[in-house]
Amino acid sequence: MSQSAIRLQAIREGREPWRAVNTLLVWAFVSLLILVPWGYAAAPMVAGLLAFSGMLATAGQGRSSLANLDGEDRLWLLALAAFSGVWCWDVARTGVWPIAEHGRGWFLPLWPLLAGGLLVWLRSHPPSRLGWWLGLLVGGVGAGCTAAYERFVQGAYRADNGMNAIPFGNLSLLLGVLALVALLGRLSRPHRPSAWLSAALGLAAIAGFSASFLSGTRGGWVAVPLLAWIGFRAFRDVFPRRQMLLVAVGFWSVLIGLVAMTATTDYGVQDRLGKAVKDVKGYLAGDSGSSVGLRLDMWSAGGQLFLERPVLGWGEGRLQQARDGMADAGIVHPNVSLYEQLHSDVIDTAARRGLLGLLTLVGLYGIPAWLFGRHLRRSRDAQTRTLALSGLMITVAFVDFGLTQSMLRDVRGLSGYLGLTVACWVLLKTHLVTVGSGDRE
């Protein structure tokens, strides 16, 4: 009997004590990512400590967590190690740690290594999908309630839950999308236990979309048509054509309703869209002091700095100095010096770590996207396709988010990308073992 089959048998018979613990940790991470100040760090750190303790405990029994990995897992671990290694090398050569939210770096370059360790651990002791579903439920509904309270009760211009409104809006949108995918996955099952959970996931999807609208975030919504198209292609062979049409009509009706709701309120959404158009016109006329103008200046500065040092880039800390020199020379607006990043993961990475850094960024995005897409194309099982689709949507969404915001230099952005993709991957691989054994729980 293979090691995977032995593990599966242990799970069925309740002899896998870490399963419940890891399910709880997945729930805590997804739920608290944007709801509480330390949620993005507390759950991964607790999971890391438990994983380390668990590995020590099982090592004495002659069992190795590495034995449970396959070629796909190792490829992903290579991508995580490469991204972290080049970033750590950049810190070592410059002596400067990255600055994130409120001036805190929080050892961001080491987080991919923690994610890799948790991937190894969770593959050996896989959580249940229930933790994922409940996490999306609490996270989506919580984000929606928080945003509604801040905007309609406190009168805030943009809902942000005490953080940067951009990652709050982007991650709320992503939680809403993932809740909708989970709902469709559950509806595709021949037997649908816990109907309340399916209904709650629908509510979480609407709440997540609403939170993103109320945050006033604009860039993340560019991905919505692409995500909707990917979802349609993934589910068109699962549901009858009529049901898919009803789902599509319902989805776009909700979005149109949210647009109408926010457009008719005096809470800044319509003003922000109009301001974006005005800022672009002003930039073309030579005024780069607006929000959009500063962002375009930062992209221009990043592109010029990359061309000056294309192989290894300028490095942590040195990039800011070079950019400030351009501001002093009048090449870009002086206010670009107020920011610690260039508002684009691609441009920021290229300017800091050159082509070498760009290659690791492509691996960090591309390898998970390729692996999830591979399983999505190959499998006809509805639940496998649902998990693969969820993972693919996470990577696609973060690529889009990273076009106009350095999400991977934000503490919640980096934690969210690593944690959500790793959790989804482990659930997918576990389900593949379950399906392969003939058990379609």
Residue 290 lies in a domain: yes
- Is 260 in the same domain as 279? no
Same domain membership, residue 203 and residue 166: yes
Residue 307: other Cβ atoms inside 10 A: 10
Helices vs strands, H then E, count in the chain: 16, 0
Distance, CA of 417 to CA of 415 (rounded, Å)? 6
Does residue 173 lie in a domain region? yes
| Residues 281, 255 share a domain | no
- Which of 241, 265, 289 is the C-terminal boundary of a domain? 265
Say if CB 346 and CB 358 are below 8 A apart: yes
Q: SS3 of 16, please? A: coil
Per-residue pLDDT, 242: 66
Tell me whether residue 36 is in a domain: no
Output the pTM of the full model: 0.90
| 194 found inside a domain | yes
- 3-class secondary structure, 97: coil
Residue given tokens 């593959």 in the structure block: 123
Residue-by-residue DSSP string for 386-437: HHHHHHHHHHHHHHHHHHHS-GGGSHHHHHHHHHHHHHHHHHHHHHHHHHHT
Verify that 261 and 319 share a domain, yes or no: no
**pLDDT tens, per residue, the chain with 441 residues:** 455 555 555 554 444 678 889 999 999 999 999 999 888 999 999 999 988 887 777 665 555 666 678 899 999 999 999 999 999 999 999 998 887 655 566 689 999 999 999 999 999 889 999 999 999 999 999 999 999 999 889 988 888 998 888 899 999 999 999 999 998 888 877 666 678 898 899 999 999 998 998 888 877 778 888 888 888 888 877 776 666 676 667 666 766 766 665 555 554 555 656 666 666 666 666 666 677 778 888 999 999 999 999 999 999 989 989 999 998 988 888 888 888 889 999 999 999 999 999 999 999 999 999 999 999 998 888 889 999 999 999 999 999 999 988 999 999 999 999 999 999 999 999 988 877 644 444
d(CA 24, CA 373): 27
- The string of DSSP codes covering 26-94 is HHHHHHHTTTSTTHHHHHHHHHHHHHHHHHHHHHTTT--GGGG--HHHHHHHHHHHHHHHHHHHHHHHH
If 0-12 CB within 10 Å is exposed, 13-18 middle and 19+ buried, where does residue 229 land? exposed
Cα 436 to Cα 1: distance, rounded to the nearest angstrom: 13
Q: What local confidence, expressed as pLDDT, does residue 362 receive?
A: 97
432 within a domain of the structure (yes/no):
no
Helix (H, G, I), strand (E, B) or coil at 193: coil
> In the prediction, which pLDDT does 101 show?
59
Encoded amino acid at 289, one letter: G
Q: Could you tell me if 277 and 317 lie in one domain?
A: yes
278, with CB counted inside 10 A (0-12, 13-18, 19+), is middle
Q: Give a yes or no: residue 387 inside a domain.
A: no
How many other CB atoms sit within 10 Å of the CB of residue 37?
Answer: 13
| Same-domain check for residues 254 and 294 | no
Among residues 256, 245, 230, 126, the alpha carbon closest in space to that of 178 is found at: 230
In a domain, 395, yes or no: no
Distance of alpha carbon 396 from its chain centroid, rounded?
9
Tokens representing 203 are: 């509510």
- Taking alpha carbons only, the member of 322, 278, 334 closest to residue 313 is 322
Claim to verify: residue 260 and residue 277 sit in the same structural domain: no
Please say which residue of 320, 338, 356 terminates a domain.
338
DSSP 8-state symbol, 190: S
Indicate the residue among 210, 244, 265 that finishes a domain: 265
Q: Which of 30, 132, 125, 25 is nearest to 68 (CA)?
A: 125
For residue 219, being part of any structural domain is answered with yes
- At 102 the three-state DSSP class reads helix
145 and 230 share a domain?
Answer: yes
What's the total number of domains in the chain?
A: 2
DSSP character string of 319-387: HHHHHHHHHHTTSS-GGGGG-SS-S-HHHHHHHHHHHHHHHHHHHHHHHHHHHHHHHHHH---HHHHHH
Q: Are residues 226 and 330 in the same domain?
A: no
The continuous run of DSSP H or E covering 19 comes out as helix 17-32
Query: Do 278 and 260 reside in the same domain of the chain?
Result: no
Query: Is residue 82 within 8 Å of 363, Cβ to Cβ?
Result: yes
Q: Are residues 256 and 276 in the same domain?
A: no
Q: What is the C-alpha separation between 3 and 149, in angstroms, rounded?
A: 50
The SS3 assignment for 104 reads coil
What residues make up the domain containing 315? 272-338
The token duo for 376 is 């999505």
Cα torsion angle, 40, 41, 45, 48, sign: positive
Q: At what angle do helices 224-235 and 165-187 cross, to 10 degrees?
A: 10
Residues 200 and 280 in one domain: no
